[in-house]
Structure 1
Amino acid sequence: MNGAPLIYVARCRLHRNGANLIQALHVAESFDRIGVPTRLYLPPAKGVTVTARLRDFGIDELLDLRLDPWLHTRFGLWPFFVRHLGELRRARGIFTHNLMLSRWLARFGLKHVLEIHDADRDLVQGGWMDHVVGCHRSRIIDWLVPVSRAAAKVLTESGADPERVLVAPNAVALKAYAALPKFDPTRLDHPTFVYLGTLAADRGLHVFDALARRGIGHAVLIGESEPGSHFVTPDSVESHPFVPHHEVPGWYGRSDITLLPYPPQLATADSMSPMKLFEALAAGRPIIASDLPVLRELLEHEKTALLVDPEDIEAWIAAIRRLQSDRQLAVRLAHAAAERAHDFSWEKREEKIARTCGWL
């Protein structure tokens, strides 16, 4: 096997807290762990110490992470490829989830694997589908790795070769959840619900507000408002600012029921693979989630979760009341969630990708 590393090129900024950054760090670390040495290139970061920042995300500090100023958009990105062309040509493989970087890789004739996070918004609405399908059919994009079956369907219906489309949902760092206290059904009389992430009106947070106002449980919202969203945290809930990602499991450990109230109007609702879902599974709490096709790819009603109409508050209340009145169901769902999580470790995910792409 080629002794050169896999090169992962991304445009996530290390000083920010986006899901794409968290995912990229875990992907690179997990490729390393399964025996595929990986070098992750990111743009420069403002005012951060790399080792401390990796620690915030619970990432191995030995990760070969390089912050390259030529990945800053002010330089147009192409100088990065000029400077690293030899390294990229010698690489075991090239991996990216960024469409602009994929375009530059194609222009330099560099075969690569492209991970697709959002088929509808990015490819269809964003006008990237012709580039992606054309490069895939010409094999400059060797493999497409959509994170959901729904995204894969959009790709193949648009002309991508289904024989080189690998569906790989996101995953979770299982070890971080191993020490959480077990689900305690006696706490369901007045359960705690915790949300961690971006605070915005399109995240279904009105569900937490409604449950708190109706006295059904204690709601905790943790995160920072999306720029320009003008989201105001309701008085009914307990709120906390953003916490480092390595603290997320502990907050799930304080919860009793996990709510995933994704609204169908969410821009990514048609093809997403939300990391919160896999964190919820690993936490081993009963899950109540929006009944959306993309979530039904991973959750089964009454077996691994209760699925409800995302826009019907009374349906969310009824689902909670059902768990309160049927503690055996709540225990079964909690156990099933924890068992299901074992299918979604980052290492299993990256091993599947690496073997498919010939990197192992």
Structure 2
Amino acid sequence: MTNASVLYIANARMPTEKAHGLQIANMCRALAEHGMDVTLVVPKRKNPIQEDAFRYYGIEPSFQIRYIWSWDLIGSLGVIGFWIQQITFSFSAWRACRNFSAQDSVFSRDIFAAWLLSFGKRKVIFEMHRYPERFVGMWKRLLRRMNGIVSTNQWKAEKIERVMGYPKERIRVLPNGFDSSMFSAHQSQTKLREVLQLPPNQTIVLYTGHLYDWKGAHVLADAARFATNILFVFVGGTPQDIERFKKEYRHTPNILLVGHRPHREIPKYLHSADILVLPNSAKSHESQFSTSPIKLFEYLAAAKPIVASDLPSIHEILGDTNAVFVEPDNPGELAKGILHLIGQSDLAQRMAQANKVLSASYTWDRRAGAIMEWIQRL
């Protein structure tokens, strides 16, 4: 155990229905469980979610959350509103952190706040989730101030070193993860389908997450037309996206749109399925190279066979023993991959077992432990 303190700076609406909020909450929880004194600093913003952040994410209040002022013009002035909010939050975070000890480390996924806080005696660690394709010169100068950088995949780490000129020895590659406590025990598939009101005997292919194009949700929905005896279940999406989906696929009866569910319910849906799908699009640079999707690690933890897009970002985690890989953005090929796996029960079983073993390497707890030890060595 240690008395070390961490200020986790995140310019994010909390709680949020988006995946980054889940990642932030779980990392703060896991760092706190490793004995660190964690304070999450986030902007006080307009939020349609009224639920307490700890309850929303289903975690114990093991760390503090401090909400600070920013000029919340996001959604009202376009890109100008975004930058006003970004700049005001960064300066507000800098002012707020003056009240904390200079011995506290700063961990942030917000580069401007991290840069401001680097002008002091604290260690500042930046966590990069998206690689910047523009303003490379500006990013080089900002990153130069960081004591260390956490990259969520190897592709970004190599770009940070090669293009940004950042020292390799101060880069740590740590993909995202999952909460192992949510997958420690579960009811039988039969019981779960009864609870979730899913058909007991039909083959179920399931996807969790937003219905964005770059995540390939439409490709999976189009694939349903090639496998009409299978039920394709989508768990997630905003009300607006769900309505668009319903209109677009109103003539595809084997699609079920569950909508957004509390995250604590996601393992039930994963365990109720026969096959889990990661249909990321190759048309998105982020999807193809830099993403580290939380759903991937939860799919592994559910010990289910996976069908996934054949992309470099996915291959960083999965191999041929973990998934059937298919051509991205091709509904017919995706359907073939699903049908192939359904017809190969031995392969599906071996894959499920391999995925359960692999999942043990990607818990939030292990990730937090690695970050804590690394910060102390910097």
Contact preservation (8 Å) 1:136, 1:161? no
Q: Which residue of 1 aligns with 2:103?
A: 90
Q: Which residue of 2 aligns with 1:289?
A: 308
Q: Is the 8 A contact 1:183 1:284 kept in 2?
A: no
Q: Which residue of 2 aligns with 1:133?
A: 140
Q: Which residue of 1 aligns with 2:5?
A: 5
> CA 1:136–1:79 in structure 2 vs 1: closer, same or farther (change >3 Å)?
closer
Alignment partners' CA distance in 2, 1:183 and 1:341: 20
Aligned equivalents of 1:2, 1:321: Cα separation in 2: 51
**Structure 2 counterpart of 1:41, which letter?**
V
Q: State TM-score, norm by structure 1.
A: 0.87
Amino acid at match of 2:231: H
Cα distance, 1:37–1:315 mapped onto 2, change above 3 Å: same
Q: CA deviation at 1:57?
A: 1.1
**AA aligned opposite 2:100:** E
Q: Is the 8 A contact 2:152 2:174 kept in 1?
A: yes
Residue aligning to 2:319: 300
2:363 maps to 345
| SS in structure 2 of the partner of residue 160 of structure 1 | coil
Shift of residue 177 of structure 1? 1.5
User: Structure 1, residues 43-62: CA drift from partner, whole Å, max 9, x if none?
Assistant: 12546556x43222122123
Question: How far did 1:75 drift?
Answer: 7.4
Aligned to 1:152: 157
Does 1:217 find its partner at 2:230? yes
- Could you tell me which residue of structure 2 aligns to residue 124 of structure 1? 133
Separation in 2, partners of 1:340, 1:103: 36
Answer whether contact 1:183 1:256 (CA < 8 A) is retained.
no
Mapped to 1, the partners of 2:257 and 2:162 lie a distance apart of 43
- Counterpart of 1:42? 42
CA deviation profile, 1:213-240 (whole Å, cap 9, x unmatched): 2314101223234979994332221112
Alignment of 1:1-360 (within 5 A): 3=3, 5-45=5-45, 46=47, 52-70=52-70, 73=85, 76-77=88-89, 78-87=91-100, 89-91=102-104, 93-106=105-118, 110-119=122-131, 123-125=132-134, 127=135, 129-137=136-144, 140-158=145-163, 159-181=165-187, 190-214=202-226, 215-225=228-238, 231-233=244-246, 234-235=249-250, 236=252, 237-269=255-287, 270-301=289-320, 303-358=321-376
CA drift at 1:294 = 1.2
Q: What number of residue pairs does the alignment pair up?
A: 348
Structure 2 unaligned segments of length 5 or more: list them. 73-84, 191-198
**1:263 aligned counterpart, secondary structure:** coil
| 1:291/1:86 CA distance change after superposition, 3 Å | same
**Does the CA contact (< 8 Å) of 1:7 and 1:88 recur in 2?**
no
Q: What amino acid maps onto 2:357 in structure 1?
A: E
Q: For 1:327, give the aligned amino acid.
A: S
Shift of 1:4: 5.1
**Matches of 1:22 and 1:71, distance apart in 2:** 24
Task: Report the alpha carbon displacement of residue 321 of structure 1 after superposing the two structures with TM.
Answer: 2.4
Per the alignment, do residues 192 and 355 of structure 1 end up closer, same or farther by CA in structure 2, a change over 3 Å counting? Answer: same
SS at match of 1:193: strand
Q: 1:285 to 1:74 in 2, by over 3 A?
A: closer
What is the deviation of 1:190?
A: 4.2
| Residue pair 2:107, 2:126 contacting (<8 A) in 1 also | yes
What residue identity is the alignment partner of 1:217?
A: I
Say if 1:230 and 1:162 are closer, same or farther in 2 by CA, change over 3 A. farther
Distance in 2 between residues matched to 1:95 and 1:297, nearest whole Å: 24
Structure 1 pair 74/319, CA: closer, same or farther in 2 (3 Å)?
Answer: closer
* CA apart distance, 1:200: 2.5
Moved more, 271-280 or 238-247: 238-247
Distance in structure 1 (CA, Å) of the matches to 2:241 and 2:218:
18
Q: Secondary structure at the match of 1:42?
A: strand
Alpha-carbon separation, structure 1, partners of 2:377 and 2:67: 24
| Counterparts of 1:106 and 1:130, CA distance in 2 | 18
Provide the rounded CA distance (Å) in 2 between the counterparts of 1:226 and 1:267.
26
Contact map agreement 1:143 1:165 (CA 8 A) in 2: yes
Helix, strand or coil: the match of 1:35? coil
State the TM-score, normalizing by the size of structure 2.
0.83
- Given that 1:260 and 1:277 are in contact with CA atoms closer than 8 Å, whether structure 2 keeps it comes out as yes
Residue of structure 1 in register with 2:76 after alignment: none
**Alpha-carbon deviation of 1:82?**
2.3
* C-alpha distance in structure 1 between counterparts of 2:344 and 2:230, whole Å: 17
Letter in 2 for 1:35: G
- 1:310 positional shift: 1.2
